[in-house]
């Protein structure tokens, strides 16, 4: 709920212009306007509970003994964020953390107040290369190595400011979604492409809270049976007034889920705004933790105006989304005009391919300053980044190029000019 942008969530309010926390998730919505004035504060403490998570998990500030006499600094960086600045005025003074995670490099600045001690957990894939204030952490003044746990090197420190630098696994490329919308006045929709994952015999509905409108006459299965209705009709339209539906795609042929490439949603009704498309799609690998893909608000036909609109197709082209086992469509009740005719939802993609180590080799071109780098062991369809550094003791890796493998091997030509020494690695996602 922290990172999703659909109702109910904190970012749903932010995207509607909120600068304070509301008393209600739906204090104001585009479809319904303001809720009752009896209980609808726009500056309220109730949903402030997320603050504890932000300080202790994202910021990593935790007490190890009463009154912050001893402190634990352990930021969690896998929450879909690339940076965070956090400060807390404790009874003993200011405690602060500021971290960034980009390009395989983790930077953490910590302030510990006087007369206290702390344990600092530094995420790393190369503990011996961690630095503090530019020095090897193990020999930095006032820093004592205390062990290693769950991918983090642990250091004991006293009061003061500390600046840590560490190599970590590079973050995968961000999810990219391109929305294409089309409106239909009648006739027929384009034929449903082949390969709809929702029609697979192994796909099941594991949760369904959908509520239907008063004119619905179809079972829920009509929403994902592979049969599309026609614009300006209700013959195959499942009238939704709110709720959500969750599909379990399964582990796929390789046991690690699916790589999603496209999501289509079709609406059809009899020309009065009930064919507008308002929904959100999210995904999960475990069925418990869902992350947003996109929120769609395509409203070509203002309710209840009859303007000739008979149906819509909203198509989401998705890149860099792998390992998906669950998909969820959420239909905000406040935006369904009492009932919208969704005639089909569909998902397309293929079984995700397990990653195997890539093999790098280089061949010097005779008489030239160029060389050919050969990379093999690639998984076709997967995304990769070629990175380089001039010092293996450093955590700074530069991106040479990003590419999607079309075959198991690829070759790049590069130069040795102005660079007496360079190391390369390939990161796959």
Show me where the domains of the chain are located.
45-167, 176-350, 359-428
Compute CA 246 distance to the chain's CA centroid, rounded to the nearest angstrom: 18
Asked if residue 372 has a cis previous peptide bond (ω within 30° of 0), the answer is no
Helix (H, G, I), strand (E, B) or coil at 236: coil
Q: What is the pLDDT of residue 394?
A: 66
Say whether pLDDT at 388 is over 70: yes
Q: What is the pLDDT of residue 419?
A: 66
Mean pLDDT value across residues 227-253:
95
Return d(Cα 27, Cα 280) in angstroms, integer: 19
pLDDT range class, residue 353, cuts 50, 70, 90: confident
Q: Which residue has the higher pLDDT, 68 or 14?
A: 68
Cα R_g (the chain), whole angstroms: 26
On whether the CB atoms of residues 277 and 298 are closer than 8 A, the answer is: yes
pTM, to two decimals? 0.63
Mean pLDDT value across residues 315-331:
95
Q: What is the pLDDT of residue 205?
A: 98
Residue 250: CB partners within 8 Å, gap ≥ 6?
Answer: 200, 202, 203, 325
Residue 335 phi, psi (nearest 5): -115, 15
Please tell me the CATH code under which domain 45-167 is placed. 2.60.420.10
Q: What is the pLDDT of residues 266-307, one digit of tens each?
A: 999 987 788 999 999 999 999 988 888 998 989 898 888 788
Say whether pLDDT at 61 is over 90: yes
Q: What is the pLDDT of residue 403?
A: 80
Q: What is the pLDDT of residue 340?
A: 94
Asked if residue 8 has a cis previous peptide bond (ω within 30° of 0), the answer is yes
Which of these CATH numbers, 2.60.120.260, 2.10.109.10, 3.40.50.170, 2.40.50.140, describes 176-350? 2.60.120.260
Mean pLDDT value across residues 133-152:
91
Percent of all residues in the chain with a pLDDT value above 70, rounded to a whole number: 96
Of 281, 290, 350, which Cα lies nearest the Cα of 316? 281
When mean pLDDT is compared across 66-80, 139-153, 165-179, 285-299, the lowest value belongs to 165-179
Say whether pLDDT at 165 is over 70: yes
* Mean per-residue pLDDT of the chain: 89
Q: Which residue has the higher pLDDT, 364 or 53?
A: 53
Residue 134 phi, psi (nearest 5): 85, -5
């Amino acid at each position: 709920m922290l990172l999703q942008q659909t109702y109910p969530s904190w970012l749903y309010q932010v995207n509607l212009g909120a600068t304070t926390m509301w008393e209600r998730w739906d204090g104001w919505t585009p479809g319904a306007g303001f809720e009752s004035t009896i209980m609808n504060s726009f500056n309220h403490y109730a949903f402030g509970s997320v603050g504890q998570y932000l300080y202790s998990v994202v910021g990593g500030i935790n007490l190890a003994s009463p009154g912050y006499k001893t402190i634990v600094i352990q930021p969690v960086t896998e929450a879909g964020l690339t940076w965070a600045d956090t400060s807390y005025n404790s009874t003993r003074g200011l405690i602060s953390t500021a971290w960034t995670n980009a390009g395989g490099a983790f930077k953490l600045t910590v302030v510990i107040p006087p007369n206290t001690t702390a344990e600092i957990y530094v995420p790393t894939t190369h503990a011996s290369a961690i630095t503090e204030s530019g020095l090897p952490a193990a020999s930095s003044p006032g820093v004592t190595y205390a062990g290693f746990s769950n991918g983090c090197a642990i250091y004991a420190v006293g009061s003061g400011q500390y600046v840590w630098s560490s190599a970590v696994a590079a973050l995968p490329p961000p999810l990219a979604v391109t929305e294409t919308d089309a409106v239909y006045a009648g006739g027929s929709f384009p034929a449903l492409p082949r390969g709809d994952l929702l029609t697979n015999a192994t796909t099941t509905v594991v949760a369904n809270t959908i509520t239907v409108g008063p004119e619905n006459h179809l079972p829920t299965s009509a929403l994902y049976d592979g049969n599309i209705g026609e614009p300006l009709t209700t013959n195959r339209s499942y009238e939704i007034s709110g709720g959500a539906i969750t599909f379990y795609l399964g582990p796929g042929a390789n046991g690690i889920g699916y790589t999603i490439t496209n999501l289509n949603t079709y609406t059809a009704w009899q020309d009065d705004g009930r064919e507008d498309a308002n929904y959100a799609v999210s995904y999960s690998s475990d069925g418990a933790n869902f992350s947003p893909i996109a929120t769609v608000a395509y409203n070509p036909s203002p309710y209840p105006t009859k303007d000739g609109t008979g149906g819509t197709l909203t198509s989401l082209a998705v890149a860099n989304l792998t390992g998906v086992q669950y998909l969820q469509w959420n239909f905000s009740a406040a935006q369904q005009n009492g009932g919208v005719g969704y005639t089909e939802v569909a998902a397309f993609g293929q079984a995700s391919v397990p990653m195997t180590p890539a093999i790098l080799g280089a061949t010097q071109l005779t008489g030239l300053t160029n060389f050919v780098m050969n990379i093999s062991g690639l998984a076709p369809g997967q995304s990769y980044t070629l990175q380089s550094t001039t010092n293996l003791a450093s955590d700074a890796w530069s991106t040479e190029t990003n590419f999607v493998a079309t075959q198991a091997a690829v070759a790049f030509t590069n130069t040795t000019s102005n660079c007496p020494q360079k190391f390369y690695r390939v990161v796959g996602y």
